A and B are shown apart, each in its own frame.
Chain A
Amino acid sequence: MARAEGVAIRAHWWAAIPERMLGKAGSLARQKTVFLLSVFVPIMSLFLVIRIIPILLILLASFTNYSLKRPVTRFVGLANFMRLFDDPRFVTGFWNSVEFVAVAVPLEIVGGLAIALVLSRKVQFEGFYQTLYFLPYILPTVPTAIIWRWIYAPGNFGVANYLLDSVGLSHVGWLTDPKIALLAIIVMHVWKQLGFFVVIFLVGIKAIPAEFREASAVDGASAWQSIRRVDLPLLRPIILFGLVWSTIFAWSVFTEVYVMTQGSDVSAGSDLHVLSTRIYQEAFIFFNAGYGSAISFVLFLFSLMFVLLQFKAFGSE
């Protein structure tokens, strides 16, 4: 008897859930909740499966000696993370990634913003410029990187050195001198990504009502003052978006670096590794997936940290 009562209570409890969660049957609140759930649940499930779970799995793998070559995997505690400090290749890759972010992000944001501000005014041949700055962004990265390798080719065989030669300057080891090579790749990366940032800034600028600028002009503001006092403050959310994207692009840069470091003639080899190419090397060439996961997690933490800092700096107002 008592058992039957328990079952009845449980059945009642289960039946009450939808009403508590969704609202009364047929009510507007219920319809809204059902609609929201039907929209968000598939997306959030997908996000969970392709983003959150892999991150957790990588975190788990980073505490193991997981290798595709080894049938048995065991926990190694913090050994993979401790190894990072003694690994000169990781240290080189880490500082190269930091340099990449520190140089590429400001160039992309400032460059993109400057071009967008110029193009937002009445400019002749606007369509031509739009094609010009957006073209590199839509070109596939691998052939683009190969073309840049030709530009940076050593001796008189590359366009860059040929131009230096023609004005009487010495050749530069664009892809062989470790001090230059990373900057040379950053230039290529910025050239390729710039169009994307020009577009988003241009959209942001065009969304600012013209009355604001007109009002500032009536008040006697110069063009620069109008940009500083009207455009830039109103563009803050777009600049934040650009910063976040640019930072993520720069931390996770792979293809440009990978293509530039392959081949027997012009590459700078390991001097050019960044964190993402180190992850690839460890996990997919040497099959040390546990150690590769530890590097991945460090990359994830640093990307996250940079993005949070940007949100804190820009998102406060």
Chain B
Amino acid sequence: MDDTFGQPSPLSRREFLRRSVAVAGGAAAFAATPSPAKEVELSVWANFNEIHRYITDLAPKYTQLHPTVKINCTLFAQRALDEKVAVALPAGQGPDIIDFASTQVQPYLQYMQFAPPETVEFVKKNMPEAAFKECSTVKGELHTVPFYVVTSALFYNTEHLAEAGIKEPPKSLDELAEYARKLTKRDARGTITRAGLDLRVAGGGWGLTEKFWVLAMEPNGVHILDAASDKWKAGYDNEGGRKALQFYIDGLHKHKYCAIDMKHDAEAFGLGVASMFCRESWVVDYLGKNAPTTKYGVALQPRGAKDWCTLAASRGFAVPKVSKNQEEAWQFIQWLVNDENCATFFKNYGWQPWRTNVDYSAAYKERPALKVFQDGLKTRGYRLYPYPPTAAAIEVYARMADRLAAAFKRPDLVDNASGIAQVMSGMAKETNQILADNNLLAK
């Protein structure tokens, strides 16, 4: 009987080495086995309801294609996103993707990650040059993948035009004012019951300035801000600028084809209390849902004395440097702007994608008016211009809106050249002061 019975027998040196090698081999083999892929949750901050819906609707499909990637999209009201970003990014916080306007992103360029080469290639290949060059880059580097563009067009009520004997929508600003006078209706007390042309005359933000700029300034060759090397100065304290204000004052207080105290905007057009107005492609979706019986057409913006053009306010997706999932974020963004998704976006959400090489026939079939917007991106001689790429733009536009809204209420400005000049120069002085405060004023 073995005297070591019941005790583990001591290993021989060879056996010990053999077993050690076996254990080490097993461990190495285990380590070499591919571990389950890392789960990634991409957080997106959206600024518009439609974008939030779009991403939320598409998220399950993306997760199906990429099972390790989950999407979490949060919607912020327009001003709330600005606040959130302003506080978060400098503090080293933030999401993986932000839905930004080209103007909104300007103050935060230092916190943004530039796009990788394959994304840059994709954008260059698939988007108009304006989308790449003017709206989304700084010194040649892509900071935002352009997704959709906010351009303006003229909406006109075809029944109202036919009733007034007008066969075609106005092609110039002069025709626009002339037709507006013809289309206006008043009650026995002289109160306007139907505006010939609805002018944007109120509102709390910079939208009022934007509409004024698009309708009355740029077509007359006037810019809000003139660039001089890397700096800016007010570009509207001149004859063109004064004419722009005159156009509004005449419409409100001289020819009276629009009034301050009445319904405005898409709601007024849908209710039939405005015959014409200028707005963006989302109105097509709005009218389809809220005023489906309205008979209307859409035309490119009327020509001014010096230019035929529209604003191309670009919106897209940016990836902040604080994102820990940058690779996945860029991949997701590129997927969001692919052919199929762009077509879906235009058709179902109403905003106009930047991409012009996509088949939008399904959208046009359902909403023919959308085609005009897409044509605008390709029409020769129809200039697209961006917001001035400066961090001070939002404050400049918002403060101008305050002054414009006050000026629009002044009937004393009718045929009052010096009064109008005073309004414009006071406004320009303030614009230049804002630029100076931001160290952006050109000498």
B-binding residues in A (CB < 8 A): 68-69, 71, 89, 153-155, 157, 170-171, 173, 176-178, 261-271, 281, 284-287
Contact = CB atoms under 8 A, between A and B. Distances in A.
Contacts of A287: 86
A155 B79 contact: no
Interface stretch (B42-50, B156-164, B309-317, B397-405): B397-405
A267 B191 contact: no
Contacts of A262: 203-205
B267 interface: yes
Given A267-B202, A270-B402, A154 B263 contact: yes
Given A264-B200, A264-B265, A269 B401 contact: yes
30 contacts: A68-B90, A154-B261, A154-B262, A155-B261, A155-B262, A157-B263, A170-B191, A171-B191, A173-B260, A173-B261, A176-B202, A262-B203, A263-B202, A263-B203, A264-B202, A264-B203, A264-B264, A264-B265, A265-B202, A265-B268, A266-B264, A267-B203, A267-B204, A269-B401, A269-B402, A269-B406, A271-B405, A285-B205, A286-B394, A286-B398
B395 A261 contact: no
A69 B273 contact: no
B235 interface: no
Contacts of B82: 284-285
Interface in B183-205: 189, 191, 193, 200, 202-205
Contacts of A286: 394-395, 398
Contacts of A284: 79, 82-83
B291 interface: no
A84 to B, nearest CB: 15
Contacts of A271: 405-406
B196 to A, nearest CB: 16
Given A263-B203, A264-B264, 18 more contacts: A68-B90, A69-B86, A69-B107, A157-B271, A170-B189, A171-B191, A176-B202, A261-B204, A264-B200, A264-B203, A266-B264, A267-B202, A269-B204, A269-B208, A269-B401, A285-B398, A286-B395, A287-B86
B345 to A, nearest CB: 24
Nearest to B271: A157
Contacts of B202: 176, 263-269
B372 interface: no
B94 to A, nearest CB: 14
Question: 6 nearest interchain CB pairs?
Answer: A173-B261, A270-B402, A269-B405, A68-B86, A265-B264, A264-B203
A177 B261 contact: yes
B221 interface: no
A266 B202 CA distance: 7
Interface in B246-297: 260-265, 267-268, 271, 273
Nearest to A69: B107
Contact of A263 (B204, B398, B438): B204
B227 interface: no
B137 to A, nearest CB: 21
Contacts of B438: 69
Contacts of B402: 89, 269-270
A201 B406 CA distance: 42
Nearest to A262: B204
Interface string B380-415: 000000000001001100100110011001000000
A269 B208 CA distance: 10
Contacts of A71: 90
B304 interface: no
Contacts of A170: 189, 191
Nearest to A161: B261
Contacts of B90: 68, 71
B87 interface: yes
B251 to A, nearest CB: 16
A89 B406 CA distance: 11
Contacts of B79: 284-285
Contacts of A69: 86, 107, 391, 438
A61 to B, nearest CB: 15
Nearest to A178: B409
Nearest to B86: A68
B286 to A, nearest CB: 13
B207 interface: yes
Nearest to A259: B204
Contacts of B263: 153-155, 157, 265-266
B98 to A, nearest CB: 16
Contacts of B203: 262-264, 267, 269
Contacts of A173: 260-261
B405 A270 contact: yes
A265 B265 contact: yes
Contacts of A285: 79, 82, 205, 394-395, 398
Contacts of A176: 202, 260-261
Contacts of A266: 202, 263-264
A162 to B, nearest CB: 13
Given A69-B107, A155-B262, A270 B395 contact: no
A267 B205 CA distance: 11
A69 B89 CA distance: 11
Contacts of B107: 69
A154 B273 CA distance: 12
Contacts of A270: 402, 405-406
A262 B207 CA distance: 11
A173 B261 CA distance: 6
Contacts of A155: 191, 193, 261-263, 273
A70 B193 CA distance: 49
A157 B267 CA distance: 11
Contacts of A89: 402
A281 B394 CA distance: 12
Contacts of B193: 155
Interface in B84-121: 86-87, 90, 107
A259 to B, nearest CB: 10
